């Protein structure tokens, strides 16, 4: 048995023991039990943030963060033109007006302060900043910009559990931050999420919004029991995925029709999905999707990126950019699931298998 498989077995046994403990002591049906309290404590320790609200999903976490701002109908919230679709709906549901901002052409999938400044208007109240596809947003410079403009930063770290940005946990930077424990995430309970902040007013507003006799958007004690053992070994799993991502980056660097965002020298990104831009000429979403289909037949768990927001009705947003970058990202993004980063040396999900699949793609599609 490989070291990775041994560690997976240890983690599985720890999860099973945690859940069985919750079943046996009867806390599985508690609104607030010891596992939830332990998970809250772990998140406080990892991020340094005082107020942690566990909730039903990462999508709800973003909405709760927005609800904490008590948005007025004239308040504008900046989103990337390429982002998770639930964030668009969350802004609408929270009552804000959406402003779409294109990522910089050379900066992959994340927002930058320079692009945010180009979009700035006095009506700006908040910006949702997402870490995506193994790329980390430059949080220190974004916070500097936001504080100078009196804009609230909601850090969407739903894809980035375990990542480090300038020496701090991803999710520790925002005025409000969010995590997801959804079914395919790096730390998973099938569903679940969390909102984090150091602002007691925001925490109180979320509590008032959620409490309707009981917590309307709760994360269960069983889910906390599932998540806690994964959090406790997150650093080890993160190191393994980072090592594998580095090997995969090296293996794919020879293909001129692929562009992998370079791994940062100082930060430590997390890879829920390993993002690749298909840079071949005349590439479009149909051809990219055919690559996804072929990779699946070769045993690779791959997928397309987000559809982005550029093709949505302009009645639902405004934009100061053409959103051409967002359109290109929606057509050209190819994602490799983190299950292929579990063992860099051996096994069905090895980096060699992924690299060999791309070699076959190049031959079959004459790229």
Enumerate domains of the chain plus CATH numbers. Answer: 3-232 (3.40.640.10), 234-365 (3.90.1150.10)
Give the tokens for residue 312.
């949505």
What does the pLDDT average to over 344-362?
Answer: 78
Instruction: In whole angstroms, give the CA distance from residue 303 to residue 135.
Output: 17
Question: What pLDDT is recorded for position 347?
Answer: 45
3-state secondary structure string across 78-145: EEECCCCHHHHHHHHHCCCEEEEECCCCCCCCCCCHHHHHHHCCCCEEEEEEECECCECCCHHHHHHH
Cβ count near 70 (within 10 Å): 14
**pTM metric for this prediction:** 0.95
Q: β-pairing, 168-169 with 164-165? A: antiparallel
Question: What pLDDT is recorded for position 1?
Answer: 41
Answer with the residue of higher pLDDT: 106 or 231.
Answer: 231
Looking at every residue in the chain, the average pLDDT score rounds to 92
In Å, how far are 33, 92, 143, 234 from 111, measured between CA atoms?
Answer: 38, 20, 12, 26
For 317, the 3-state DSSP assignment is strand
Q: Report the percent of the chain where pLDDT is more than 70.
A: 95
- Of 366, 105, 104, give the one whose Cα is nearest residue 255: 366
What does the pLDDT average to over 76-102?
Answer: 98
Question: What pLDDT is recorded for position 346?
Answer: 44
What does the pLDDT average to over 90-112?
Answer: 94
Give the tens place of pLDDT for each residue, 301-335. Answer: 999 999 999 999 999 999 988 899 999 999 999 99
- Of 139, 172, 175, 178, give the one whose Cα is nearest residue 159: 178
CA atoms within 13 A on the CB side of 350: 8
Could you give phi then psi for residue 74, rounded to 5 degrees? -95, -10
If 0-12 CB within 10 Å is exposed, 13-18 middle and 19+ buried, where does residue 208 land? Answer: exposed
What does the pLDDT average to over 293-307?
Answer: 95
Give the tens place of pLDDT for each residue, 11-64. Answer: 789 999 999 999 999 999 998 999 999 999 999 999 999 999 999 999 999 999
What does the pLDDT average to over 229-241?
Answer: 93
Q: Which of 83-87, 250-254, 346-350 has the lowest mean pLDDT?
A: 346-350
Position 121 confidence tier, pLDDT thresholds 50, 70, 90: very high
Has residue 3 got a pLDDT over 70? no
Has residue 207 got a pLDDT over 90? yes
Give the tokens for residue 287.
């051809």
Q: Is the dihedral of CA 263, 264, 269, 275 positive or negative?
A: negative
Question: What pLDDT is recorded for position 262?
Answer: 82
Instruction: In whole angstroms, give the CA distance from residue 10 to residue 340.
Output: 19
- Of 8, 343, 30, 338, give the one whose Cα is nearest residue 16: 8
Question: What pLDDT is recorded for position 8?
Answer: 62
């Amino acid at each position: 048995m490989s070291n990775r498989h041994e560690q997976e077995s240890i983690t599985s046994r720890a999860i099973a023991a945690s859940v069985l403990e919750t079943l046996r002591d009867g806390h599985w049906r508690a609104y607030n039990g010891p596992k939830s309290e332990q998970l809250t404590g772990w998140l406080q320790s990892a991020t340094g943030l005082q107020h942690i609200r566990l909730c039903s999903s990462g999508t709800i976490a973003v909405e709760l963060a927005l609800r904490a701002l008590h948005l007025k109908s004239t308040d504008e919230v900046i989103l990337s033109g390429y982002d998770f679709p639930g964030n668009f709906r969350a802004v609408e549901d929270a009552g804000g007006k959406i402003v779409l901002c294109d990522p910089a052409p050379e900066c992959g999938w994340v927002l930058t302060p320079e692009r945010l400044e180009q979009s700035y208007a006095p009506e700006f109240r908040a910006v949702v900043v997402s870490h995506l596809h193994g790329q980390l947003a430059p949080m220190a410079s974004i916070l500097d910009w936001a504080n100078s403009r009196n804009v609230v930063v909601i850090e969407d770290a739903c894809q980035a559990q375990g990542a480090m940005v300038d020496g701090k946990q991803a999710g520790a930077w925002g005025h409000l931050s969010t995590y997801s424990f959804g079914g395919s995430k790096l730390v998973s309970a099938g569903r679940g999420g969390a909102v984090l902040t150091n602002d007691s007013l925001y925490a109180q507003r979320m509590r008032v919004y959620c409490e309707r006799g009981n917590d309307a958007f709760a994360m269960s004690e069983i889910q906390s029991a599932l998540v806690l053992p994964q959090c406790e070994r997150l650093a080890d799993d993160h190191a393994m995925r980072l090592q594998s991502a580095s090997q995969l980056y090296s293996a794919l660097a020879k293909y001129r029709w692929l562009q992998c965002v370079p791994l940062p020298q100082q930060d430590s990104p997390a890879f829920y999905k390993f993002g690749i831009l298909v840079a071949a000429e005349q590439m479009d979403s149909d051809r990219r999707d055919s690559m996804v289909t072929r990779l699946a037949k070769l045993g690779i768990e791959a997928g397309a990126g987000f559809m982005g927001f550029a093709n949505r009705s302009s009645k639902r947003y405004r934009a100061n950019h053409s959103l051409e970058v967002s359109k290109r990202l929606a057509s050209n993004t190819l994602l490799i699931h983190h299950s292929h980063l579990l063992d860099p040396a051996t096994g069905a999900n090895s980096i060699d298998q992924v690299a060999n699949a791309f070699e076959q793609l190049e031959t079959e599609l004459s790229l």
